[in-house]
Homo-oligomer: A and B are copies of this chain.
Amino acid sequence: MTTASTEASPAMSDAPARGFSPEEFAGRTARAQRLMHQARLDALLVTAPPNFRYFSGFDSQFWESPTRPWFIVVPADGEPIAVIPDIAAPELARTWIRNIHTWPAPRPSDDGRSLLRDVFAGLPNRHGRIGAELGREMALRMPVIEFMALRDVVPGFTFVDGSPCLWQIRQVKTPAEIRHIRHICELASDAYRALPGLVSLGMTEREVARALRIDLARRGADSTPFLPVISGPGGVAQIVCGPGDRRLEPGDVMFIDTGSTYDGYFCDFDRVYAIGAISDAAKRAHETVWQATEAGIAATRPGATTDGLWAAMQAVLDAGGALGNNVGRSGHGLGMQLTEPPSNMQGDGTVLQPGMVMTIEPGMEYAPGKMIVHEENVVITEDGAELLTKRAPREMWRVD
């Protein structure tokens, strides 16, 4: 056996314990039920992996297969109820969930529908309303025609948009959730810092991505669903597509972003690297974006709004000669998803609360097709923003 692939790094030994206590899940459920009461919901029906996992603690990479739907019903009172395919029953029985209904899936004629009908028939009906994942930044993980059919077989209830309620619940993280996010942020921070020792001039973007992907896994990241590596002379034209086969050349700015996970929680932040010597214009733009990040962090405190965060960063970018950018916002929530509400942008209007975890992500195009974007992850405390990432250096790391 090779030792390289299994050696423990410092980050791995510092890792918080996996999973959460039954008390954590009971607390999440109780908080959900208070918000459901305000929203006049008799139940929440969830199908998407992050929501399923949030209430159950259950994880499966098998969600990659769209064949079988999975359901958790959170009633207004009492414990969550699982309605799941047989294939996962042995493992779901190991979570805190005690009320589990299963069926032999796939069964196209009735993939959970009649079980859900029976579950809803057994719930008290106060408001006649069930909240489902119908709204912004959510997608229903079941066929839409199956959802329509479900509506028709559940008497006495209307399905309404439960996403505002679900986002209200999930966007304020518990201390245990914050420990998880901090861990993956620190692990990725260390990997970014070490990267110049793993890569060199003349490598392709794809080779850089592979080296970083392997190093993140070695350090203890469970998965790396998001790892664009994008390079260009003095900056990049876009930040979401890549890596490609372009080779790193002197004068390039290399942009790398990663959403890696630890036990179901994401980091989401980027770093930029100078490939050899870069232009003074690129350096000045980098300084502007670095200062905009400082301004964003300073503006982040309970009671501030996402509009205010955007404005604080944009003022610095404008003063630095920003031509704009195509990202459309300067940060967002994160947690069990790479991106979650709210968005740092005009008109979002979210008031920040302690426990929210956010990206601070200003970017500017300083010349046509040359963009530089920074990103840090913070948790909001009573005193303001606390960094979860290890702050990017004021001068770019250099690759030769």
The chain A residues found within 8 Å of chain B, CB to CB, are 1-2, 4-6, 18, 58-62, 64-67, 85-91, 104-108, 132-145, 147, 161, 163, 197-200, 203, 207, 210-211, 213-215, 217-218, 223-228, 237-241, 245, 259, 326-329, 332, 337-339, 343, 345, 347, 369
Contacts and interface: CB of A to CB of B under 8 A. Distances in A.
A332 B87 CA distance: 15
Which of A61, A87, A326 has the most chain B CB atoms inside 10 A of its CB? A61
Contacts of A1: 197-200, 203, 211
A163 B134 contact: no
Given A134-B143, A210-B218, A240 B161 contact: no
B211 A6 contact: yes
Contacts of A210: 5-6, 217-218
A140 B137 contact: no
Contacts of A218: 210, 214
Q: Which 5 A-B pairs have the closest CB atoms?
A: A62-B240, A91-B241, A65-B339, A5-B211, A134-B144
A241 B62 contact: yes
B240 A87 contact: yes
B144 A140 contact: yes
A87 B225 contact: no
A220 to B, nearest CB: 8
Nearest to A334: B65
B64 A5 contact: no
A362 to B, nearest CB: 15
Given A144-B147, A147-B144, A240-B91, A211 B2 contact: yes
Contacts of A2: 197-198, 211
Contacts of A67: 137, 332, 339, 343
Contacts of A143: 134-139, 163
Given A66-B139, A87-B328, 15 more contacts: A2-B197, A4-B4, A5-B198, A6-B211, A62-B228, A65-B338, A66-B137, A87-B238, A105-B328, A134-B143, A135-B145, A136-B143, A139-B140, A140-B140, A144-B144
Number of copies: 2
A181 B133 CA distance: 34
Contacts of A135: 143, 145
A129 B197 CA distance: 57
A238 B345 CA distance: 45
Nearest to A220: B210
Nearest to A227: B61
A223 B135 CA distance: 29
A4 B210 CA distance: 11
11 contacts: A1-B211, A62-B226, A64-B338, A65-B338, A66-B339, A89-B238, A91-B238, A104-B328, A132-B144, A135-B143, A145-B161
Nearest to A332: B67
A176 to B, nearest CB: 18
A2 to B, nearest CB: 6
Contacts of A91: 238, 240-241
A259 B60 CA distance: 13
A91 B58 CA distance: 37
A150 B288 CA distance: 41
Contact of A66 (B4, B59, B337): B337
Which of A4, A65, A133, A226 has the most chain B CB atoms inside 10 A of its CB? A65
Contacts of A88: 238, 240-241
A18 B133 CA distance: 36
Nearest to A327: B87
Contact of A214 (B5, B89, B140, B199): B5
A331 to B, nearest CB: 12
